[in-house]
Structure 1
Amino acid sequence: AGARDIIAEWVNEDQEARARMRALFFEKGVLRSRVIASKEESGIKYKDYYEWEEAIVKAPSHRVLAIRRGEREEFLSLRILPPEEDALAILTELFIKGTTAASEQVRLAVQDSYKRLLSGAMETEIRLASKKRADETAIQVFADNLRQLLLSPPLGQQAVLAVDPGFRTGCKTVCLDRQGKLLHHETIYPLLGQKGRDEAAIRIPALCRRFASEAIAVGNGTAGRETEAFLRTLELPQEIRIVMVNESGASIYSASPAAREEFPDQDVTVRGAISIGRRLMDPLAELVKIEAKAIGVGQYQHDVDQGELQRRLDDVVVSCVNAVGVEVNTASAQLLSYVSGLGPALAENIVKHRDEEGPFRSRAELKKVRRLGPKAFEQAAGFLRIRDGANPLDASAVHPESYPIVKKMALDQDCSVTDLLADEARRQKIKPEQYTTDKVGLPTLREILSELAKPGRDPRRQFESVVFAAGIEKIGDLLPGMKLPGIVSNITAFGAFVDIGVHQDGLVHLSELADNYVKSPGDVVKVSQQVEVTVLSVDMERSRISLSMKKSPGERGDKSVRSHTDNPQADGRHTERAQTGERRNRPDTPNGTNRQPRPGQNRPAKEEPKPFHNPFADAFRKDGIKR
């Protein structure tokens, strides 16, 4: 037995054996999950994985993360192993020759090495590799969704009456001016008896008249649809839009230091309503105040590498802020901090300078800001806008370094820069190749001309509001076959989630997104996109809604093979929504709890033993050649 133990160690440490085992595990490894005994009832959300097997090379990222979460929460057991006979065949080929009594002892040692040492080490490696692959996919999905959400169409500078709905505690109502400044706040009770309803029916129109409100924003959390339905019964001016606003993360902002600093005399409920209203006016400017991970448009965001997730999401926010541009004289410090070249400290200095010295009149005045040096100015200037300034180019994306080129273009056209911006005929006469230099090429010049055509243009889509179906306010109101308007709230690798106004988003599986083959949901839909869906089925027990965007729902004429396990509501739900006392439970874990891994879990794999020369190992190889 002692000799076999030594041989087993040699086999485990052999580099070629490990390399071939590694390849086998990756090529033929099978992911197997089983329910832990006595956990059938408590782990019902993982029911689809109670008896699950799948080749690891084909397992999609969301399924790997879902099963790993079930294992971490002690509802599932997980193994990833290839066929044992294939593994032993490889080791037999490498280490056993002949059929002598000694060969039999080596065979026993090889089997022991695989079962006791090699299989565990290789399984750890493939678990880590599959987790890394799943993380990459999940992070990319989150980043893509975040970009689409941040670039959601803004309502623009309009006076807004915003409502954070509630039943017993009432609806927190705030009135904002066109710049998002708080003018008034109060609480109404339209859902608490006839008296409260009658009073609210008087107060809302009065507030709209008093503060010249042009739109009403309603949070889509608890009591959102009921409040919206009430508002639509009021006799309001036809031009006042009533818009449902995704309130995910509003409560996180309302309790943040930034919110307390801006509104020190208001409680969190009023701050939350303000955030809802401002989010309608300009989603990007408001969402940057919230940590990107709290916005909740990802899949299994708490299960992936948090450092890599944070880095990727920060990059997305910076990219979106720079693409849209920032109005220096109205932007918050949080928004300014994401402009390339600035950061939190310089953003605070800009706001402080603005408060003390008044609005900036030109980009050049930014150089007076404390600690904003030439390098920071060079990086940031092109993304900062100053509207109604002395130089019209300050309101565009043209960098100050290119101002002399634009001035020369205007001079050659015998007009001012302002006239050049207003006269398309003059711009059409400009030949960019005449203005190339060692530092400025044709691509840059074409971009300048494009910007001159629409200075300060907003790359975001035109704002449109969705009106949910009347009378459909809860999951119990749904029936198969219903066609409903909705808005895409989240996109995952396996489909898209659509808010249809029943406090529970429905899933349009990949196979139901279109009548033709769909490789990726992102090819068909975007976050915040308006869609029309058909209800396929409703599972009241597990609060699942299956939807379709096909013209002929439910048909299987495409190549998108649907599995019943591709339902993220079995995978821990698709998104994380911020909560207040009235918000929905956070759906990534049962009962809205955020369970932490048990001590000792998710430890890094042990380092593989370093190779060493084994003078006896070659004796067990068939070829007898030292490697």
Structure 2
Amino acid sequence: MALSNQQLIRVLTTLVEETGLQPAQVNNTVELLREGATVPFIARYRKERTGELDEVEIRTLEERLAYFSELEERKETVLKSIEEQGKLTPELKARIEKTRQKTELEDLYLPFKPKRRTKATIAKERGLEPLAEIIAAQILSTGTPEEAAAPFVDAEKEVPDAAAALAGAGHILAERLAEDADARAVVRSLTWDQALFASRVAPDKVGAVTKFEMYYDYQEPLKAIPSHRMLAMRRGEKEEVLRLSLAPPEEEILLRLKGRLLRGASIFRPLLEAVAVDAYRRLISPSIEVELRLESKKIADEGAIAVFASNLKNLLLLPPAGSKRVLGVDPGLRTGSKLAAVDGTGRFLEHVTIYPHTGAGRIDGAKKELLRLVQSHGIEMIAIGNGTAGREMDLFVKETLREAGVNVPAVMVNEAGASVYSASDIAREEFPELDLTVRGAISIARRLQDPLAELVKIDPKSIGVGQYQHDVSQNALMKALDAVVESCVNFVGVDLNTASYKLLSYVSGIGESLARTIVRHRDETGPFADRKGLLKVPRFGAKAFEQAAGFCRIRQGANPLDNTAVHPENYGVVEAMAADLGVSLAGLAAEPKLAAGIDLKRYVSETVGLPTLRDIVEELKKPGRDPRESFQTVSFRDDIQAIADLREGMILPGTVTNVAAFGAFVDVGVHQDGLVHVSHLSDRFIKDPNDAVKVGQIVQVKVLAVDLPRKRISLSIKEALPGGGAPRTGGGGRPEPKPKPAQPEANSWEKSGFRVKRR
């Protein structure tokens, strides 16, 4: 349903007040979003209109615009429903129109919402509402409640005595209090601010060894629970190991509710106090507890999704090895290792299976096949999956190359999700004749060439950089991860003549259907000569071209600007710059130093401002350059292949594979990632692990503890720093802590920053 002008004005006003942005920034950005422009396009090519808002700010506006638009639509439905009941007062209408929270709107609607038959409705049917009004008025100060209720006794209406009449009237008043929006707001606020969230072990699990032992007898303020602990406890409840409960500040809540009911001395005071207790315990508390548990789950979801999104972004933007001929290796033991060679564009060349780990008799043959592939295809790099037998294959390859005097670097590649790709529709479309394991080896090779182009083919949830990903809202997770992929793809740009339809589908304004059409057109008519060639693709109109063209690249095209992030709508500006410098467009692109002397103010117009001109000059300084960082590799120690080879105190190289709220996981080449607790990520205070490390980062770590039975490794980046992570001295440090009473000696896990429950 489209918003009316009045509703849109309300939404825009709210967005301005909530975000603190300038009205023009909000109005223009919302207008662009409502016109169908994508977030990457707006952030990159409409900076003048948005006041240079970045993607994060624009996505926030997009999300809040959707929230308030839904709120306005719901308001319209609520107002219509109450009006049809003949109960809409000017005051209620004004309050509904003013509210900015969905919860407050539903609270206001609650008394008028169609409901099932309750104790209060039954009491009303029995004619007890007038008695409820007498009690609520609190005028009577003499006599007894029973005397006041006597006229309402009626056996035919199932009100046999005064006690039954008073009970029925109490139910009416309890429901009225429970449906009071202000009363519910008080209870909600007090519960959120002061309630304790408690976890206890299920009776039939007492003494059982589980991964939830930390939470067998645990409580924490509801509003302070970190995302990972909330999700862990909820998972424990789902697996019937834990029992969760909420302990609100009931005494203070009842005091506040009674204060809303009682107006002074009356014969009904004890009854009204009992009504407040009944309203809270029977009606308000269960409802608010469910609501706040859902709200805390939503907040925990958002935290976990944010960590997942950050990890995914860093993984997708890992530096590419580039257009090198690569041999991909999907290691295996009994079933052999699959080798697949690809050329500089990722085109599959040949595959073989070797068996270097199934007996000495097959080692020589495996070496010959490896060297034949390397030499016959001019292989420049070897990518080895880090799964089963990965380290063994890494050593085998390096030894074989060394013996043959062949200097080709071998790199361990994270193969998470490769098997998912192998069985996917896109893999079957690309390689219908090949075995799943061979497809996996090709994917590993391509990941080394360009992680982004290959990983977009895989469901992000299968890549292994999330925590509790199956416990969070799947819709919210998918939306967030899709936004990350879209952002990364458009940040880097895509080669229009080599990109898969999956990669193209994330380009601004394209989508999967149009991406397939582009690839089909490319296959039928040959490579695109320039960006304008997109307009010849069926169903690819001017609007799609506007949104997508700037993010598509043409390598070695006739127009050098087609290989930059300069949008075609601004080619005329660049041509004017070249003419003023007395060089051709190709000359300007070939000599980046020329761009430094351009006076940008000369080219400012009504449609092109300084932000866009600055971006154009930056592109001219580095035409066609990949914005990702330079490629680096990590070399694991050859003598460390399994967790049993680790010793406390070792300093090892590793790669960050995952970042969580409590620390980071690091691959040190032993088939089992070690955990660096947040307290060991840096020699300075770190609250958010993402401030210290990111997925794909190469680090040095010190082994703090190894638990062989549980296959757990505790590592420290701080202790691996020069000086062993000793606290910094000098001015500005924290004051010396006061001496504490003697404690039992901490074991290695406690020294690593983990909580250890002593028995």
For the superposition of Structure 1 and Structure 2, which TM-score range results when normalised by the shorter chain?
0.7 to 0.9
How does 1:74-153 map onto structure 2 within 5 Å?
74-95=240-261, 103-104=269-270, 106-153=272-319
Question: One-letter code of the match for 2:351?
Answer: H
SS in 2 for 1:434: helix
- Of 352, 364, 369 in structure 2, the residue corresponding to residue 203 of structure 1 is 369
Q: Is residue 2:350 matched to residue 1:189?
A: no
- Of 615, 628, 631 in structure 2, the residue corresponding to residue 463 of structure 1 is 631
Question: One-letter code of the match for 1:124?
Answer: V
2:469 aligns to what? 301
2:572 aligns to what? 404
Using a 3 Å threshold, how does the CA distance of structure 1 residues 40 and 154 change in structure 2: closer, same or farther? farther
For the residues of structure 2 that align with 1:368 and 1:511, how far apart are their CA atoms?
57
Question: One-letter code of the match for 2:664?
Answer: A
Kept after mapping to 2: 8 A contact 1:11/1:17? yes
For the residues of structure 2 that align with 1:340 and 1:314, how far apart are their CA atoms?
12
1:51 aligns to what? 217
Shift of 1:54: 0.7
Shift of 1:568: 12
Using a 3 Å threshold, how does the CA distance of structure 1 residues 67 and 365 change in structure 2: closer, same or farther? same
1:594 aligns to what? none
Kept after mapping to 2: 8 A contact 1:40/1:47? no
Kept after mapping to 1: 8 A contact 2:596/2:617? no
Kept after mapping to 1: 8 A contact 2:190/2:249? no
Using a 3 Å threshold, how does the CA distance of structure 1 residues 544 and 115 change in structure 2: closer, same or farther? farther
Q: Is residue 2:359 matched to residue 1:172?
A: no
1:606 aligns to what? none
Using a 3 Å threshold, how does the CA distance of structure 1 residues 531 and 565 change in structure 2: closer, same or farther? closer
Using a 3 Å threshold, how does the CA distance of structure 1 residues 568 and 228 change in structure 2: closer, same or farther? farther
1:542 aligns to what? 710
2:507 aligns to what? 339
For the residues of structure 2 that align with 1:563 and 1:98, how far apart are their CA atoms?
58
User: Where does the alignment leave 5 or more consecutive residues of structure 2 unmatched?
Assistant: 1-162, 735-748
For the residues of structure 2 that align with 1:546 and 1:256, how far apart are their CA atoms?
36
For the residues of structure 2 that align with 1:568 and 1:318, how far apart are their CA atoms?
39
1:270 aligns to what? 438
Using a 3 Å threshold, how does the CA distance of structure 1 residues 270 and 301 change in structure 2: closer, same or farther? same
Percent identity of paired positions between Structure 1 and Structure 2: 52
User: Where does the alignment leave 5 or more consecutive residues of structure 1 unmatched?
Assistant: 571-627
Kept after mapping to 1: 8 A contact 2:648/2:705? yes
How does 1:242-391 map onto structure 2 within 5 Å?
242-391=410-559
1:212 aligns to what? 378
Q: Higher relative contact order at CA 8 Å, sep ≥6: structure 1 or structure 2?
A: 1
1:480 aligns to what? 648
Using a 3 Å threshold, how does the CA distance of structure 1 residues 112 and 556 change in structure 2: closer, same or farther? farther
For the residues of structure 1 that align with 2:605 and 2:178, how far apart are their CA atoms?
65
Question: One-letter code of the match for 2:473?
Answer: D
Using a 3 Å threshold, how does the CA distance of structure 1 residues 145 and 278 change in structure 2: closer, same or farther? same
1:618 aligns to what? none
- Of 582, 586, 611 in structure 2, the residue corresponding to residue 443 of structure 1 is 611
Question: One-letter code of the match for 2:297?
Answer: K
Q: Is residue 2:402 matched to residue 1:233?
A: no
Q: Is residue 2:329 matched to residue 1:163?
A: yes
Question: One-letter code of the match for 2:220?
Answer: E
Q: Is residue 2:678 matched to residue 1:510?
A: yes
2:562 aligns to what? 394
Shift of 1:496: 1.2
Comparing 262-271 with 478-487, greater Cα deviation is found at 478-487
Kept after mapping to 1: 8 A contact 2:683/2:725? no
Kept after mapping to 2: 8 A contact 1:389/1:395? yes
Shift of 1:8: 4.7
**Structure showing greater Rg:** 2
Higher helix share: 2
Shift of 1:202: 2.4
SS in 1 for 2:225: coil
For the residues of structure 2 that align with 1:195 and 1:309, how far apart are their CA atoms?
50
- Of 578, 584, 587 in structure 2, the residue corresponding to residue 416 of structure 1 is 584
Kept after mapping to 1: 8 A contact 2:658/2:695? yes
For the residues of structure 1 that align with 2:373 and 2:633, how far apart are their CA atoms?
22
1:519 aligns to what? 687
**CA deviation profile, 1:223-270 (whole Å, cap 9, x unmatched):** 111211222222345531111111111111111111111101011111
SS in 2 for 1:339: coil
Using a 3 Å threshold, how does the CA distance of structure 1 residues 398 and 239 change in structure 2: closer, same or farther? farther
Using a 3 Å threshold, how does the CA distance of structure 1 residues 421 and 256 change in structure 2: closer, same or farther? same
RMSD: 2.6
Question: One-letter code of the match for 1:28?
Answer: Q
**CA deviation profile, 1:111-140 (whole Å, cap 9, x unmatched):** 444444333222112101111111111111
SS in 1 for 2:545: helix
Kept after mapping to 1: 8 A contact 2:258/2:272? no
Question: One-letter code of the match for 1:140?
Answer: A
For the residues of structure 1 that align with 2:679 and 2:471, how far apart are their CA atoms?
26
Kept after mapping to 2: 8 A contact 1:219/1:244? yes
Kept after mapping to 2: 8 A contact 1:48/1:565? no
